[in-house]
């Protein structure tokens, strides 16, 4: 797989069969796990919109990704303007 060759040095696992909790997916669904982190760091797949149109989506759980960074220090407040 081309993706596997390009990402072979990263400590992640791409699971194209993980469908738990995403019953609305209509085809391909996947989860991405990172070595040393608990749970998925991302999930996504194909689904139909409320209008029956095909779509694809991806959710990245940034708090989990940040926890994998060496300098991660949780902030008490995050401000957005």
List the chain domain ranges: 2-67
pTM (global) more than 0.85? no
DSSP letter assigned to residue 71: T
- Cα(77)–Cα(81) distance, rounded to whole angstroms? 13
For the cut 60, the answer to whether the pLDDT of residue 2 exceeds it is: no
Tell me which residue has tokens 């409320």: 50
From residue 6, alpha-carbon distances to 1, 9, 10 in Å are: 9, 8, 9
- Range with the lowest mean pLDDT among 6-10, 27-31, 52-56? 6-10
For the cut 60, the answer to whether the pLDDT of residue 3 exceeds it is: no
> For 60-64, what is the mean pLDDT?
89
For the cut 80, the answer to whether the pLDDT of residue 1 exceeds it is: no
Strands, E, within the chain: which ranges?
12-15, 25-34, 40-48, 54-60
Average pLDDT across the chain, whole number: 78
């Amino acid at each position: 797989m081309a993706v596997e060759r390009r990402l072979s040095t990263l400590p992640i696992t791409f699971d194209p069969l993980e469908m738990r909790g995403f019953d609305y997916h209509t085809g391909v669904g996947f989860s991405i796990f990172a070595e040393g982190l608990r749970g998925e760091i991302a999930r996504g797949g194909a689904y139909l919109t409320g209008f029956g149109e095909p779509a694809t989506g991806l959710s990245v759980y940034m708090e989990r990704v940040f926890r994998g960074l060496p300098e991660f220090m949780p902030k008490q407040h995050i401000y957005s303007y």
